[in-house]
Structure 1
Amino acid sequence: MTRIPLLGEKQVGRFTRIAFRFARRRFGEVPEPFRAAAHHTGLMWTYAIHESAYERAATRLRPELRDLVVHRVATRIGCSWCVDFGTMLAVRAGLSVERHRELAHYASSPAFTELEKLALAYADAMTDLPMTVTDEQVAGLRSRLGDAELIELTYAISLENLRARTNHALGLTAQGYTNGDSCPVPWDVQISAAAPAPGRASAPR
């Protein structure tokens, strides 16, 4: 159960109702974070405009790489809503979600390239509290991606931390976008598998 009421069309103003209808046409139903944010319409519109602008601007990074790091952050934080919604978007975009099965063991898995492993380790380091990013990580990614793609990668990881931590704090859970069909492994298995190895500081959930 959510920790804040989710507003419906009869509880919001005219322009928010229009936004709800647009979201429903695009995604099949209104995303629950949007319905929660409708309690503060100024921030709701700020969030919507930002996401739209980000979608248009984030064109440098390979979509498959962005999908992997975003999914990894969502599982590290424990946001089942993000995993559900993100999996739906990945499937719609024609991306394979099969490698998500291997994310908890990416460092030793042959399913990922060296660049993907570096990016996933960077996502983990940025999500850790306190952050554990090193000069070597950034230098390694910069040499392979270049400055613009490094910035885009960093921004994608930061943005998913914002989404996932906000949704988790408000008690938003999987909304059923994938109906359990497209998500490659059950959510509880993902969370269990994503637990940090012994001796490594874990990010508070």
Structure 2
Amino acid sequence: MTRIAPLAPNEAGPLTRLVYRFAGRQFGAVPEPLAVLAHHRKLLLASSGHEMAVQKASTVLPGNVRDIAVYRVAWKVGCSWCVDFGAMLMRLDGLDVDRLQHIGEYDTSPLYSEDERAAIAYADAMTANPVEVTDEQVADLERRFGKAGVVELTYQISLENQRSRMNSALGIVDQGFSSDACRVPWADRAEAGREAGRR
């Protein structure tokens, strides 16, 4: 149970309900972080717009490198919601999600490329407190991905730190996206009502 209950559609304004419909169509269910954030409509809209803009702008890095670095942040912080959602996104992108079980030994596992290992190590260094990034690390990443690639990777890792820490603080846990069983509380009630109506 989240520390702040998700905002149910019948309590939301028309714009928030529109965001819910869009998210539900895109992901199969309303992501719980979105439904909790909906208590602050302006931040919901700002965050939704920002996420869409970042997704459209992030085109320099190979998807597998970006996705594995973001996933590693969620895993490191311990955000089960982001781990769950990230696994679903990678599966939908056609990436190998079975190897995620070996993310803890990425540095020795043959399942990860050298580029992925460099991105994961950078994610770890950025997520550490205090930050442990070195000049050599950034220079290596620049050789691999170029300046724009390093900026994109840094931005994506920073953004995932924000998401993971916010979700963890608000008690938002895995929702079942990676197992295709995602639900928010009102979705369970709505489904139960539809089932009762069919009988």
Matches within 5 A, 1:129-140: 129-140=129-140
**How does the TM-score come out when normalised to structure 1?**
0.85
After the TM superposition, which parts of structure 1 deviate over 4 Å for at least 4 consecutive aligned residues? none
**Is residue 29 of structure 1 aligned with residue 29 of structure 2?**
yes
Question: Could you tell me which amino acid in structure 2 is paired with residue 27 of structure 1?
Answer: F
CA-CA distance at 1:33 after TM superposition: 0.5
CA-CA distance at 1:180 after TM superposition: 7.8
Question: Could you tell me which amino acid in structure 1 is paired with residue 108 of structure 2?
Answer: S
Unaligned runs of 5+ in 2: 182-199
Q: Deviations over 1:144-182 (max 9, x none)?
A: 11101111111111111011001010000000112289x
Q: Equivalent residue for 1:7?
A: 7
Q: Deviations over 1:68-103 (max 9, x none)?
A: 111110010000000111111111111111221221
Rounded to whole Å, the distance in 2 between the matches of 1:23 and 1:47 is 13
Q: Equivalent residue for 1:155?
A: 155
Q: Equivalent residue for 2:145?
A: 145
Q: Equivalent residue for 1:75?
A: 75
**Is residue 106 of structure 1 aligned with residue 111 of structure 2?**
no
The answer to which of 68-77 and 90-99 deviates more is: 90-99
> Is the radius of gyration larger for structure 1 or structure 2?
2
Structure ranking higher in helix proportion? 2
Q: Equivalent residue for 1:59?
A: 59
Question: Could you tell me which amino acid in structure 1 is paired with residue 27 of structure 2?
Answer: F
Rounded to whole Å, the distance in 2 between the matches of 1:118 and 1:17 is 41
The answer to which of 153-162 and 101-110 deviates more is: 101-110
Q: Percent identity, aligned pairs only? A: 50
Determine helix, strand or coil for the equivalent of 1:61. Answer: coil
**How does the TM-score come out when normalised to structure 2?**
0.88
Question: Could you tell me which amino acid in structure 1 is paired with residue 24 of structure 2?
Answer: R
Unaligned runs of 5+ in 1: 182-205
Question: Could you tell me which amino acid in structure 1 is paired with residue 150 of structure 2?
Answer: L
Determine helix, strand or coil for the equivalent of 2:107. Answer: helix
Rounded to whole Å, the distance in 1 between the matches of 2:87 and 2:73 is 13
Rounded to whole Å, the distance in 1 between the matches of 2:119 and 2:91 is 21
Rounded to whole Å, the distance in 2 between the matches of 1:143 and 1:120 is 16
Rounded to whole Å, the distance in 1 between the matches of 2:142 and 2:2 is 40
CA-CA distance at 1:112 after TM superposition: 1.8
**Is residue 38 of structure 1 aligned with residue 38 of structure 2?**
yes
Rounded to whole Å, the distance in 1 between the matches of 2:25 and 2:149 is 32
Q: Deviations over 1:22-60 (max 9, x none)?
A: 111111111001100011001110000000001110011
Q: Deviations over 1:93-147 (max 9, x none)?
A: 1111122122101112222222221111110000001111111111111111110
Rounded to whole Å, the distance in 2 between the matches of 1:114 and 1:35 is 38
Question: Could you tell me which amino acid in structure 1 is paired with residue 157 of structure 2?
Answer: I
